[in-house]
Amino acid sequence: MGIDEKKERVLKLKKEKNALILAHNYQEAEIQDIADYVGDSLGLSFKAREATQERIVFCGVHFMAETAKILNPNRKVLLPDLEAGCSLSDSCSYEELLEYKRKNPDTFIVTYVNTSAAVKSLSDCICTSANALKIVQKVPLDRNILFVPDQNLGEWVQTKTGRQMDLWPGECYVHVEFTYQSLLELKNKFPDAPIVSHPECERAVRMFSDVVCSTEQMIGYCKDHPAQTFIIVTEAGMITRLKREIPNKEFIPATTARCACAQCKFMKKITLDKVIYSLESDQYEIEVPLEICKKAFIPIQQMLEWSV
Ligand code: 13P
Ligand code: SF4
């Protein structure tokens, strides 16, 4: 089957199976083509919560599909490849966070959405890269905060809000590959291009950037900015989305010390063939134990309330 036939097959199955297809901004172009909605973690959470279809096929990574299940437990949530994980999510386990909580029972735990449902169930409020500043600013001033698990996002929030926090020592293996040196070379080539970075990047990269924001917020920034060319410092799938939304501008993917174009191996696990298989055979269903689901819902709901 060629790509176009595969896309037609997905669209046909989507109707037959009464499915909603959600895709993250880092997904390949052909996956973005067949999705009902493409966006960042926050936008995808809102869409998952509103879904009325019988099934949600999540073209993203495991924690995103779990979040969809927690927000809308009566839908069947399918992840086309169970190996679509996340290095950041893996950097904080339930047991480790439980141990921290035992030692620090009064600390307010703000947890990045890139975590397992079990870790979320131990948290006070969830955040995404789009609303992390807002969320931390809403935490009562008399509470100490632990920010879990991305130390780079946490450090950026700390700098922006002036709020001191304990930072969990986790990181995204893709975003920490960008360096000040690799950006400097690009900036010399494109001196007028603003540098647009994701907050999961390290401090030197963030400080060199014109703006630091979530993947979806990058679209608004590049649309409104008068520049014609932008250097984009995040996973390369974002370039597809930007080119589609803003076809008259140019987007340069930032290089890293090791490669010309940074790709998340977990996001790229999702392919059209796997989406077809997922729809045909209802695989792989994401289940979250009821107790965890109920507990994790509370801090996610808190996030949705605090972020509007
Ligand atoms: P966004 O919510 O900004 O899309 O980020 C998700 C992510 O996994 C970044 O690596
Ligand atoms: Fe996780 Fe990084 Fe991939 Fe985002 S890019 S899903 S944070 S490993």
SS3 letters for 3-24? Answer: HHHHHHHHHHHHHHCCEEEEEE
Residues 75 and 108 in one domain: no
pLDDT tens string 200-229? 999 999 999 999 999 999 999 999 999 999
Residues 35 and 109 in one domain: no
CA of 135 to the centre of ligand 2 (A): 21
**Residue 25 pLDDT:** 97
| Residue 21: inside a domain | yes
CA of 178 to the centre of ligand 2 (A): 14
**Residue 69 pLDDT:** 98
Residues 155 and 302 in one domain: yes
Pocket test for ligand 2, best of 67, 173, 270 (most atoms within 8 A of CB): 173
CA–CA separation, 54 and 27 (whole Å): 23
Distance in Å from the first CA to the final CA of the chain:
44
Residues 149 and 126 in one domain: yes
CA of 129 to the centre of ligand 1 (A): 7
Say what percent of the chain tops pLDDT 70.
100
Residue 307 in this model has a pLDDT that exceeds 90: no
pLDDT tens string 46-66? 999 999 999 999 999 999 999
Residue 260 in this model has a pLDDT that exceeds 80: no
Return the DSSP state at 194.
P
* 259 vs 180, residue with greater confidence: 180
Residues 298 and 169 in one domain: yes
CA of 121 to the centre of ligand 1 (A): 20
CA–CA separation, 60 and 64 (whole Å): 7
| Residue 260: inside a domain | no
Over residues 96-120, mean pLDDT: 98
Q: Is 121 annotated as a binding residue?
A: no
Pocket test for ligand 2, best of 264, 265, 270 (most atoms within 8 A of CB): 264
CA–CA separation, 37 and 10 (whole Å): 15
Asked whether the CA dihedral 199, 200, 203, 206 is positive or negative, the reply is: negative
Residue 249 in this model has a pLDDT that exceeds 80: yes
The CATH number of the domain where 233 resides is what? Answer: 3.40.50.10800
Residues 146 and 214 in one domain: no
Q: Is the CB of 65 under 6 A from ligand 2?
A: no
Number of domains making up the chain: 3
ipTM over 0.95: yes
Residues 92 and 169 in one domain: yes
**Residue 258 pLDDT:** 79
Nearest CA to ligand 2 atom 3: 264
| Residue 148: inside a domain | yes
| Residue 135: inside a domain | yes
Contact 201, 233 (CB under 8 A): yes
The domain of 195 spans 175-253
Q: What are phi and psi of 136, to 5 degrees?
A: -65, -35
Residues 109 and 148 in one domain: yes
| Residue 152: inside a domain | yes
Residues 37 and 185 in one domain: no
**Residue 19 pLDDT:** 98
**Residue 259 pLDDT:** 79
